[in-house]
Amino acid sequence: MRNKWFLMSFILILSMFVLAACGGDDQEEATESNEEETTQTEESNEETSEENASEETGGEVNLYTGRHYDTDQELYDKFEEETGIKVNVIEGKDDELIARLDREGEASEADLLITADAGRLHRAKSQELLQPIESDVLSENIPEKFRDEDNNWFGLTKRARVIAYHKERVNEEDIQTYMDLTKDEFQDKVLIRSSSNIYNQSLVASMIATEGEEAAKEWAQGIVDNMAREPQGGDRDQAKAVAAGEGDVAVMNTYYMGKMLNSEDEEEVKVAEQLGIMFPNQDTTGTHVNISGVGVTASSQNTENAKKFIEFLSNEEAQKQFAEANYEYPVNPNVEPSELLQSWGEFKEQDIRLNELGENNDRAIQIMNEVGWK
């Protein structure tokens, strides 16, 4: 008897999968007929979300985020406290979250996508995964430069990709631009991570935008020629290599410097203290600045809640916490950056549309492959 029961449960489980398999075969037909249905469900959903809003819970908002800071959760809790809107979160790798959104398509339950790098946000936009949001609050809180021109995405924090140099071995005057890294005197002295890293891709993409493809390729070639070692590790590893004497200059994002200076590991602090940071291209095109930002998904069913959420993150109070969690600069001009960042001084930012980082991304990767940037 027991055996029979055992087998029966087997069959039950498996039949579910067989059913699943059949469903997969009919996929195309199903999606076609589904399109009509979704338009219907959208209407009915609007009604339900209105109902939800009138209830005391205030509804929900579903968030895909590439940020992983514990203090973010405090902000979400606070948002829930203020508005009654519950924030459901899936954390993941930025690129995979975008790919997931793409696969889920119209049916996706995500309302918001938070991700680092404008190149990625642009990719999400060009895959039609985001939708425009009109909000006076956002227009006021976020400078035009850090918003998508069609309001598909909004920057929340900004970071600069700067040059860190060894204070004793390098004279700050010798290194004023990104181009200076390719000078002969830095032969075998430059530390930078792999070309698979989006920060480097966006840096090259920004050069394509400001100086053209050829100049960008020339620069990439110069970097490869001057590398102290094959690219490896993360931004912190580049800084450590400078301290260790493997090279003299490293390209890194500002917030890694902040993290190292505030590390629990006193050895990391010592490393960071040996380094000076400089904002390149101050007399020319400006330092490469990138953002982490947010967009409302095209499939969102809680658009109003999502909008409220972005507005909440752009307000002065939240901006401070959101940016400081990762030693970044707030985008809201009314909010002062942390003391550490202020001590580095103000600097001239690269003046390009951030969408160009995304538009030039493919070309940037190709260039880096062509010059043999691992």
Partner 1 sequence: MSRLNLLRKLPGYMNIWSILSLAIVILILIPNMTILFNFFTQKAENWNHIQEYILPDLLKNTGLLIVFTGILTIIIGTSLAWIVSAYEFPMKKFFKWGLILPLAIPPYIAGYTYNGILNYTGVIQTTLRNNWDIKVDQVYFNILNLPGAVFIFTLFLFPYVYTITRAFLANQSASLIENARLLGRSPVDIFFRVVLPISRGAIVGGVSLVLLEVLNDYGVVQYFGVPTFSTAIFQTWFGMNDLNSAIKLSATLMFIVFAILTLEKVLRGRKKYASTTAKARPLHPTRLIGWKAWGAFGYCLFIFLLGFLIPFVQLIDWMLLTFEKIASPEFTTLIWNSLLVSFVGALLIVLFAVIIANFSRMHQSALSKSAAKVTILGYSIPGAVIAVGISTVFIGIDSGLSRFYESTGLESRLFLSTSLVILISAYIIRFLAIGYNSIESGFDKIGNKYTEASRMLGMNMTRTFFKVDLKMIKAPLISGFLLAFIEIIKELPLTLILRPFNFGTLSTNAFKYASDEQIHEAALASIIIVVISAIAVFVFHQVLEKESN
* Binding residues among 89-118 for partner 1 as defined by CB under 8 A: 89-93, 95-96, 98-100, 103-105, 107-109
Task: Report if residue 14 touches partner 1, rule: CB under 8 A.
Answer: yes
Residues 24-63 that bind partner 1 (CB under 8 A): 24, 26-27, 30-31, 34, 37-38, 41, 48, 62
The correct pick among 53, 233, 336, 347 for binding partner 1 (CB under 8 A) is: 233
Nearest residue to 344 (alpha-carbon basis) of 292, 291, 279? 279
Say how far apart CA 284 and CA 126 lie, in whole Å: 30
351 backbone dihedrals φ, ψ, rounded to 5°: -110, 80
For partner 1, which residue of 101, 243, 278, 357 counts as binding (CB under 8 A)? 243
State the nearest-atom distance from the C-beta of 167 to partner 1, in Å: 16
Please report how close the Cβ of residue 313 comes to partner 1 at its closest, in angstroms. Answer: 19
The H or E element spanning position 249 is: strand 249-253
Range in contact with partner 1 (rule: CB under 8 A) among 131-139, 168-176, 202-210, 259-267:
259-267
Piece of the chain touching partner 1 by CB under 8 A; list 214-222, 238-246, 288-296, 303-311 = 238-246
Count of CB atoms situated within 10 Å of the CB of 276: 16
In 68-179, which ranges are E strands? Answer: 86-91, 112-116, 130-131, 153-166
Within 8 A by CB and 6+ apart from 62, the residues are 88, 90, 109, 110, 111, 112, 302
CB atoms within 10 A of CB 362: 12
Residue among 39, 54, 57, 232 that touches partner 1 (CB under 8 A): 232
Contact flag: residue 254 with partner 1 (CB under 8 A): no
Residues 179-208 that bind partner 1 (CB under 8 A): 193-194, 196, 198, 201
Contact residue for partner 1 among 127, 187, 262, 282 (CB under 8 A):
127
Kindly report the length of the chain: 374
Tell me if 163 contacts partner 1 by CB under 8 A. Answer: no
Exactly one of 46, 77, 172, 229 binds partner 1 (CB under 8 A); that residue is: 229
The tokens of 228 are what? Answer: 């102290």
Whichever of 103 and 173 has its CB closer to partner 1, that residue is 103
CB of 93 to partner 1, least distance (A): 7
The answer to the question of residue 167 lying near partner 1 (CB under 8 A) is: no
Q: Which of residues 326-365 bind partner 1 (CB under 8 A)?
A: 361-362, 365
Distance of alpha carbon 199 from alpha carbon 92, whole angstroms: 18
Rounded to whole angstroms, the Cα distance separating 200 from 196 reads 8
| Cβ proximity to partner 1, 149 vs 370, nearer residue | 370
Whole-angstrom CA distances from 29 to 25, 26, 103 are 9, 6, 17
Q: Total binding residues for partner 1 by CB under 8 A?
A: 82
Q: Is 157 in the site for partner 1 (CB under 8 A)?
A: no
Instruction: Give residues 269-308 in contact with partner 1 (rule: CB under 8 A).
Output: 270-271
Give the one residue of 213, 237, 304, 336 binding partner 1; rule: CB under 8 A: 237
Query: Cβ atoms within 10 A of the Cβ of 76, count?
Result: 20
* Whole-number Å distance between alpha carbons of 157 and 201: 19
Strand, coil or helix: 154: strand
